[in-house]
């Protein structure tokens, strides 16, 4: 047994003896080949590791470089995801704005429940929009965002039980869309409660016949119970540019959420029609012929009756997640910004930039407060340009915001009038001197603060809020001023005060993650709608209007 074990050991050891291989050259060759292969494998692996390390090194370098570039960019957008410890002053200011909303809302609940608007001095409601509960519907998302859940639930209950669209009323298609369709869709996106979507669809169906015109440019008025769309007599039968070009965001959103393309088709056909004869400067007069689909001779303005047409060119692009399907909207908007730039003049002596109005070839040195949405729009759109243009438009936005802020600061009440004139040597002087609690300047301050991170815009917003508190707050709500010079009050709490003015103020003092601009787009009445990528044919969301391929939105996609 012992001998057997020692003989097997000596058999194995012979493989270690070089003489063994010298006598057997084939085995030596095999051993050599095996050695070469093993060496090659190890070397190959090592060089792979080295290559990866080098790649990682390069990527790290690139990352560092990009970071420095981002920091150096003057137009660098403040990151919305950044977690910054909350400034206690911001929180206090936000609470003050929330108090204002509670006061406005409880006055409405007490004196005008279910009616369109509250008249705070006489403590009654009026149905200025046909009895659709405009203030209530306009306030749903503001209540929700501010965390006023009991108030929100009472409002929801009213929508469920009492919101009735079967009204023999000649409604403005534009006002009904931006306030009612927009308000309901926003409530739906925030809560996922299908009641709001069903109601939005119901009212949109009643508005839809307004688009049945030879050109697809809608009539601006429709009877909610009987249809019969038409234009107001004072426009001479023409459709208004802003009224016709400010339903796209809501109607596209409605198609995306219901899966029914007809709303989107009607609304996009309008832009497709206007694009056929769109001028190089992207400026359109405020009246459009609904038969021919072309603009005639009329004022060009970023104020009343023009404003939100330009706003929606940009917002449809953002709403469509800036994909190729919505590129034509961006192209049209960029043309319009060339036009806007051509209307910019500066005052003497203080060099306030302002946007002129245009009649034929003549510029009028006049600007509406309504046009003060433009700084926010320019700031929002500036990030779609290359670095140079982006800087130019952001800086124009900042200049215009300064002018708009001075519309407020230049009056004894520190509230802006409705429009301003700019006469040589006199900077700005108020024209129509009422203030009806409009939001546009605050809207722009909100965008500028969100996009630049510059706290000055919060300070300006706070000053304007305090002027509202001082001049417009009364025991039974908020009123406008008949005259910003004397402070004499009117008797109306506009529904957009709750939908827009207070919402933008609240967001101005909230963390940037609350309704992030990366995920939401605001309609022109400040109703946030979820951004949903469009999956239309790549060529163009406009041209492809006849066969939109709408991807039904996943239920989770609509959550904040």
Selecting among 238, 250, 418, 427, the annotated active-site residue is 418
CB of 291 vs ligand DMJ, minimal distance in Å? 26
CA distances in angstroms from 489 to 20, 106, 120, 139, 493, listed in the order given: 114, 20, 10, 23, 11
Q: What is the C-alpha separation between 118 and 116, in angstroms, rounded?
A: 7
CB of 501 vs ligand DMJ, minimal distance in Å? 8
Cβ-contact 434, 419 below 8 angstroms: no
CA distances in angstroms from 547 to 113, 255, 263, 524, 532, listed in the order given: 43, 13, 12, 27, 18
CA 440 to chain centre: 13
CB nearer ligand DMJ, residue 366 or residue 527: 527
Q: What is the enclosing helix (H) or strand (E) of 230?
A: strand 227-230
* DSSP 8-state assignment for residue 525: T
Is-catalytic flag, 54? no
For residue 439, state whether it binds ligand DMJ (rule: CB under 6 A).
Answer: yes
CB of 496 vs ligand DMJ, minimal distance in Å? 4
Map the footprint of ligand DMJ across residues 517-546, applying CB under 6 A.
524-525
Closest residue to ligand DMJ, based on beta-carbon distance: 524
Cis omega before residue 349 (within 30°)? yes
Encoded one letter per residue, x for contact with ligand DMJ by CB under 6 A and - for no contact, window 162-181 reads ----------------x---
CB nearer ligand DMJ, residue 439 or residue 558: 439
CB nearer ligand DMJ, residue 165 or residue 496: 496
Residue 288 in tokens: 């459009």
Selecting among 250, 334, 440, 483, the annotated active-site residue is 440
Helix ranges restricted to H, 478-521 = 495-496, 502-508
Encoded one letter per residue, x for contact with ligand DMJ by CB under 6 A and - for no contact, window 387-426 reads ----------------------------------------
First-to-last alpha carbon distance for the chain, in angstroms, is 82
Q: What is the C-alpha separation between 258 and 273, in angstroms, rounded?
A: 25
Residue found under tokens 């190890």: 42
Is-catalytic flag, 443? no
Q: Which residues pair with 474 in a beta bridge?
A: 477
CB nearer ligand DMJ, residue 268 or residue 307: 307
For residue 375, state whether it binds ligand DMJ (rule: CB under 6 A).
Answer: no
Is-catalytic flag, 418? yes
CB of 186 vs ligand DMJ, minimal distance in Å? 14
Is-catalytic flag, 369? no
CB of 549 vs ligand DMJ, minimal distance in Å? 30
CB nearer ligand DMJ, residue 343 or residue 370: 370
Candidate list 77, 206, 257, 438; residue touching ligand DMJ; CB under 6 A: 438
Q: What is the C-alpha separation between 414 and 469, in angstroms, rounded?
A: 11
CB of 179 vs ligand DMJ, minimal distance in Å? 7
CB nearer ligand DMJ, residue 457 or residue 504: 504
Degrees (nearest 5) of the Cα angle 134, 136, 142?
A: 115
CB nearer ligand DMJ, residue 352 or residue 504: 504
Map the footprint of ligand DMJ across residues 278-307, applying CB under 6 A.
307
Q: What is the C-alpha separation between 295 and 360, in angstroms, rounded?
A: 13
Encoded one letter per residue, x for contact with ligand DMJ by CB under 6 A and - for no contact, window 178-207 reads x-----------------------------
Residue 200 in tokens: 């939005």
Q: What does DSSP say about strands 362-364 and 353-355: parallel, antiparallel, or unpaired?
A: unpaired
For residue 215, state whether it binds ligand DMJ (rule: CB under 6 A).
Answer: no
CB nearer ligand DMJ, residue 479 or residue 550: 479
Selecting among 247, 307, 483, 490, the annotated active-site residue is 307
Three-state helix/strand/coil letters over 112-166: HCCCCEEECCCCEEECCCCCCCHHHHHHHHHHHHCCCHHHHHHHHHHHHHHCCCC
CB of 447 vs ligand DMJ, minimal distance in Å? 14
CB of 438 vs ligand DMJ, minimal distance in Å? 4
Q: What is the C-alpha separation between 75 and 87, in angstroms, rounded?
A: 24
* DSSP 8-state assignment for residue 556: G
CB of 178 vs ligand DMJ, minimal distance in Å? 6
CB of 373 vs ligand DMJ, minimal distance in Å? 7
Encoded one letter per residue, x for contact with ligand DMJ by CB under 6 A and - for no contact, window 126-165 reads ----------------------------------------
Q: What does DSSP say about strands 362-364 and 357-359: parallel, antiparallel, or unpaired?
A: antiparallel
For residue 308, state whether it binds ligand DMJ (rule: CB under 6 A).
Answer: yes
With CB under 6 A as the rule, give the number of residues binding ligand DMJ: 10
Selecting among 116, 117, 175, 268, the annotated active-site residue is 175
* DSSP 8-state assignment for residue 369: G
CB nearer ligand DMJ, residue 186 or residue 308: 308
CB nearer ligand DMJ, residue 175 or residue 536: 175
CA 82 to chain centre: 20
CA distances in angstroms from 147 to 101, 176, 187, 240, 359, listed in the order given: 11, 26, 13, 37, 47
Map the footprint of ligand DMJ across residues 481-500, applying CB under 6 A.
496, 500
Binding site for ligand DMJ (CB under 6 A): 178, 307-308, 370, 438-439, 496, 500, 524-525
Enumerate the active-site residues: 175, 307, 418, 440
């Amino acid at each position: 047994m012992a001998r057997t074990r020692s003989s097997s050991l000596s058999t194995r050891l012979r493989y270690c003896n070089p003489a063994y291989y010298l006598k057997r050259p084939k085995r030596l060759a095999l051993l050599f080949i095996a050695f070469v292969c093993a060496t090659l494998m190890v070397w190959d692996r090592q060089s792979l590791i080295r290559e990866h390390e080098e790649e990682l090194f390069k990527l790290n370098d690139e990352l560092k470089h990009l970071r420095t570039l981002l920091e150096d960019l003057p137009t660098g957008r403040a990151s919305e995801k950044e977690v910054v410890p909350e400034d206690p002053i911001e929180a206090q200011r936000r609470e003050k704005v929330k108090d204002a909303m509670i006061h406005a809302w409880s006055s409405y609940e007490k004196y005008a429940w279910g009616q369109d608007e509250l008249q705070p001095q006489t403590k009654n409601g009026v149905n200025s929009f046909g009895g659709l509960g405009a203030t209530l519907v306009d306030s749903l998302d503001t209540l929700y965002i501010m965390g006023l859940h009991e108030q929100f639930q009472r409002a929801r209950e009213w929508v469920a039980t009492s919101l009735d669209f079967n009204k023999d009323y000649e409604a403005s298609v534009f006002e009904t869309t931006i306030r009612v369709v927009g308000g309901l869709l926003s409530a739906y996106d925030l809560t996922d409660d299908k009641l709001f979507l069903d109601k939005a669809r119901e009212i949109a169906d009643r508005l839809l016949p307004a688009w049945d015109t030879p050109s697809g440019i809608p009539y601006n008025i429709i009877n909610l119970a009987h249809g019969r769309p038409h234009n107001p007599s004072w426009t001479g039968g023409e459709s208004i540019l802003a009224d016709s070009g400010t339903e796209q965001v809501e109607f596209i959103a409605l198609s995306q959420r219901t899966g029914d393309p007809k709303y989107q088709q009607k609304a996009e056909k309008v832009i497709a029609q206007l694009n056929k004869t769109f001028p190089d400067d992207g400026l359109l007069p405020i009246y459009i012929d609904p038969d021919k689909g072309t603009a005639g001779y009329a004022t060009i303005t970023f104020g009343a009756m023009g404003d939100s047409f330009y706003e929606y060119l940009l917002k449809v692009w953002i709403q469509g997640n800036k994909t190729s399907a919505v590129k034509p909207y961006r192209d049209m908007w960029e043309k319009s910004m060339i036009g806007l730039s051509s209307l910019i003049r500066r005052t003497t002596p203080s060099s306030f930039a302002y946007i002129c109005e245009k009649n034929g070839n003549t510029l009028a040195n006049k600007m509406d407060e309504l046009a003060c949405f433009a700084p926010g729009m320019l700031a929002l759109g500036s990030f779609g340009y290359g670095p140079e243009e982006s800087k130019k438009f952001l800086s124009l936005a900042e200049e215009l915001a300064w002018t708009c802020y001075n519309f407020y600061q230049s009056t004894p009440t520190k509230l802006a009038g409705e429009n301003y004139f700019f006469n040589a040597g006199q900077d700005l002087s108020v024209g129509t001197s009422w203030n009806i609690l409009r939001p546009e300047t605050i809207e722009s301050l909100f965008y500028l603060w969100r996009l630049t991170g510059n706290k000055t815009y919060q300070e300006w917003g706070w000053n304007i809020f305090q002027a509202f508190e001082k001049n417009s707050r009364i025991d039974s709500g908020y009123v406008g001023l008949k005259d910003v010079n004397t402070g004499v009050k009117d008797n109306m709490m506009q529904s957009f005060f709750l939908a827009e003015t207070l919402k933008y103020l609240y967001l101005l003092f909230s963390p940037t993650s609350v309704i992030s601009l990366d995920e939401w787009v605001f309609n022109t009445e400040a109703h946030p709608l979820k951004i949903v990528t469009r999956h239309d044919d790549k060529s163009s969301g406009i041209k492809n209007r006849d066969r939109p391929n709408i991807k039904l939105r996943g239920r989770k996609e609509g959550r904040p």
